[in-house]
């Protein structure tokens, strides 16, 4: 018969993000029929008692487990991939999945350098025989279409020079757009789109600061009713906070599988860039280290890979 500690270890091995391969091999691989039956009977959230008197897998649980077994492989494949191809494939998948994943397009367009975004566009041409711009324009049908097309088309100045007077003026323009949101949503405002999709990130951070001085709130707080606009502003102006929030949502045990996928995406794409800053911001916001959170939520080889990547000081 299976011992209580073995049953607990098996349950944990099948739960959370990824699976604990070593426990599965050690306990299940060496188990007899009786031990596996005891495991099935003691885990009704995994197995159902069939009317013909045998314990069978819950179909929904099997589907979830398939995703968990795949996490390590998917993370390794993404990590080994050229960043241009990785971003191109992330955008393609986001367009295929629909509007609830358009934040991935925003992430790529707003948190990569101009050369990196240009590289992703080149890779997209080679992989899919289309441009990112035309596919975004043909797949996105909501009011955010103009914003997303302009974001993926951007090639921003990356120097440090900016004009404070211009930044103040554009902060005022954003403030007026928010005030007039009842007549026209900011995401549909041509001036808002121009500012967010053409200005350098240092300039936009200055605009963000001046907006706070005018409004008393941050711009992303004032447009939170429009999620795509909020995500755009956060990715451009406060990316460490944005990615910390995405990671926190993804690390919840009961998160939807599409939300959990963000854990792999964020860790893999930011490990060579700003993972140190994200770790610091995560700890500041949630009062717990990202390392500790991953150790609690993830299992096996997948957990070990994540911990290796987040320990990098890019």
Provide the pLDDT for residue 2.
Answer: 52
Provide the pLDDT for residue 206.
Answer: 98
Q: In this predicted model, what pLDDT tens digit does every residue of 85-104 receive, in sequence order?
A: 999 999 999 999 999 999 99
Average pLDDT value over all residues in the chain: 95
Q: If you average pLDDT over residues 298-313, what whole number do you get?
A: 95
Q: How confident is the model at residue 314 (pLDDT cuts 50, 70, 90)?
A: low
Q: Is residue 312 pLDDT above 90, yes or no?
A: no
Considering only CA atoms, which of 254, 244, 246 is closest in space to residue 279?
Answer: 244
Lowest mean pLDDT among 44-53, 202-211, 274-283: 44-53
Q: In this predicted model, what pLDDT tens digit does every residue of 21-30 receive, in sequence order?
A: 999 999 999 8
Q: What is the b/e burial string over 233-269, where b = at least 16 CB atoms within 10 angstroms of the residue's CB?
A: bbbbbbbbbbbbbbbbebbeeebeeeebbbbbbbbbb
Could you give the C-alpha distances from 276 to 124, 259, 272, 283, 311, in angstroms and in order? 29, 22, 9, 11, 8
Q: If you average pLDDT over residues 237-256, what whole number do you get?
A: 95
Q: If you average pLDDT over residues 215-224, what whole number do you get?
A: 96
**Domain 83-155: which CATH number of 3.40.50.300, 3.40.630.30, 1.10.220.10, 3.90.470.10:** 1.10.220.10
Predicted structure pTM score: 0.93
Percent of the chain with pLDDT over 90: 90
Q: Is residue 51 pLDDT above 60, yes or no?
A: yes
**Is the CB of residue 26 less than 8 Å from the CB of residue 32?**
no
**Is the CB of residue 283 less than 8 Å from the CB of residue 244?**
no
**Domain 241-310: which CATH number of 2.60.15.10, 1.20.120.450, 1.10.220.10, 3.40.50.300:** 1.10.220.10
Q: Which CATH class is domain 157-237?
A: mainly alpha
Percent of the chain with pLDDT over 70: 99
């Amino acid at each position: 018969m299976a011992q209580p500690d073995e049953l607990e270890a098996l349950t944990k091995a099948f739960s959370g993000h990824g699976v604990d391969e070593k426990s599965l091999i050690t306990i299940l691989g060496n188990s007899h029929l009786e031990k596996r039956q005891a495991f099935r009977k003691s885990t009704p959230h995994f197995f159902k008692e069939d009317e013909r008197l045998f314990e069978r897998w819950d179909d929904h649980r099997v589907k979830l487990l398939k995703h968990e077994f795949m996490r390590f492989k998917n993370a390794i494949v993404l990590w080994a991939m050229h960043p241009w191809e990785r971003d191109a494939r992330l955008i393609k998948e986001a367009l295929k999945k629909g509007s609830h994943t358009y934040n991935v397009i925003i992430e790529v367009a707003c948190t990569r350098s101009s050369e990196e975004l240009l590289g992703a566009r080149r890779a997209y041409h080679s992989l899919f025989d289309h441009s990112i711009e035309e596919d975004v324009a043909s797949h996105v049908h909501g009011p955010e279409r103009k914003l997303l097309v302009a974001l993926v088309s951007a090639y921003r100045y990356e120097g440090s020079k900016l004009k404070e007077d211009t930044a103040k003026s554009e902060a005022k323009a954003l403030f007026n757009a928010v005030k007039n949101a009842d007549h026209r949503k900011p995401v549909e405002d041509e001036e808002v789109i121009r500012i967010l999709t053409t200005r350098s990130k240092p300039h936009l951070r200055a605009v963000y600061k001046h907006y706070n001085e005018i409004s008393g709130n941050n711009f992303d707080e004032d447009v939170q009713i429009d999620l795509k606009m909020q995500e755009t502003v956060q990715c451009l102006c406060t990316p460490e906070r944005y990615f910390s929030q995405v990671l926190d949502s993804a690390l919840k045990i009961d998160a939807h599988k599409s939300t959990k996928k963000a854990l792999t995406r964020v860790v893999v794409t930011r490990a060579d860039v700003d993972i140190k800053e994200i770790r610091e911001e995560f700890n500041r916001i949630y009062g717990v280290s990202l390392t500790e959170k991953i150790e609690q939520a993830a299992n096996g080889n997948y957990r070990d890979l994540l911990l290796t990547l987040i320990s990098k000081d890019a």
